[in-house]
């Protein structure tokens, strides 16, 4: 599992979302680096981490716990955005003694019934078929399938040139094959009693009122904060406010 480490102090692990990489929460990592030992990770099938046919949340949670063991971290605060939030929640539920606090950015602990990334996969597969030889060429292909410029720009952060030409740093076939698991959520009886902060983008539809009961059943001590005027990428849209909410939560008793 690829990771980047900075700072000293209590351990904090930052976990990116679908199609992301360890750089996605870089502004938060820098904000925390003066007081904490910050470990930013590439999840399996993302960035420079290993490839796998299994994207289940128990498997991804095991990756985090294995990394903690490798780094001699007995317990850590976990901060995850989107799919990374689900990974963090799964770790907390399966190994609560290893998690000090939990911060989840714009994600609920539920199975999402609707396909949200169909056009993204169509666009990514189109680039795989066309084999573009520059980032500009890749963007022109994506633009035929993905209207939102910000989404294209986010994806293109993981389009890079290697020894064998241009390629996606995430594993498109594995992510598409496991999409039902990624959008889903394991049904179990586990819960995490420790401090939890959910941060919702005010304009995002990922955290709905009807999910509150399920969230509190699994995380009874959870608190929710809303950042108005932001969507799903709240940490990038209003980083100063997002970082302040996280820092304040980590520096208090929860």
Cβ neighbours of residue 238 under 8 Å, at least 6 residues apart?
227, 229, 230
User: CA-to-CA distance for 170 and 43, rounded, in angstroms?
Assistant: 9
167 catalytic? Reply is no
With CA atoms as reference, report the closest residue to 31 among 182, 246, 181, 186: 246
The full 3-state SS of 207-253, as one line of letters, equals CCHHHHHHHHHHCCCEEEEEECCCCCCHHHHCHHHHHHHHHHHHHCC
204 is catalytic: no
Query: Mapping DSSP to helix (H, G, I), strand (E, B) and coil, where does residue 57 land?
Result: helix
d(CA 61, CA 83): 12
Q: Which of 40, 82, 158, 204 is catalytic?
A: 82
- 46, 81, 117, 232: which one is catalytic? 232
E strand map for 106-206: 159-162, 165-168, 196-201
Count of other CB atoms within 10 angstroms of residue 154 = 18
* Residues annotated catalytic, as ranges: 82, 232
């Amino acid at each position: 599992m690829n990771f980047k480490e900075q700072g000293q102090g209590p351990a904090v692990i930052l976990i990116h979302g679908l199609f992301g990489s360890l750089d996605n929460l870089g502004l938060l990592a820098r904000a925390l680096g003066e007081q904490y030992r910050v470990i930013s990770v590439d999840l399996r099938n993302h960035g420079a981490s290993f490839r796998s046919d299994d994207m289940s949340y128990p498997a991804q949670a095991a990756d985090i716990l294995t990394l903690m063991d490798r780094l001699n971290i007995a317990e850590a605060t976990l901060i995850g955005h989107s799919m990374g939030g689900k990974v963090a929640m799964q770790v907390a539920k399966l190994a609560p003694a290893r998690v000090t606090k939990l911060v989840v950015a714009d994600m609920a602990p539920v199975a999402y019934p609707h396909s949200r990334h169909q056009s993204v996969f169509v666009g990514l597969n189109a680039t795989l078929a066309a084999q573009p030889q520059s980032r500009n060429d890749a963007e022109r292909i994506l633009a035929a399938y993905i209207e939102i410029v910000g989404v294209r720009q986010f994806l293109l952060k993981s389009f890079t040139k290697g020894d064998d030409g241009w390629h996606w740093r995430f594993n498109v076939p594995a992510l598409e094959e496991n999409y039902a698991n990624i959008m889903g959520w394991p049904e179990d009886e586990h819960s995490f009693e420790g401090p939890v902060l959910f941060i919702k983008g005010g304009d995002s539809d990922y955290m709905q009122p009807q999910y509150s009961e399920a969230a509190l059943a699994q995380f009874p001590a959870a608190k929710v904060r809303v950042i108005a005027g932001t969507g799903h990428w709240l940490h990038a849209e209003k980083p100063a406010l997002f970082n302040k909410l996280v820092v304040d939560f980590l520096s208090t008793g929860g």
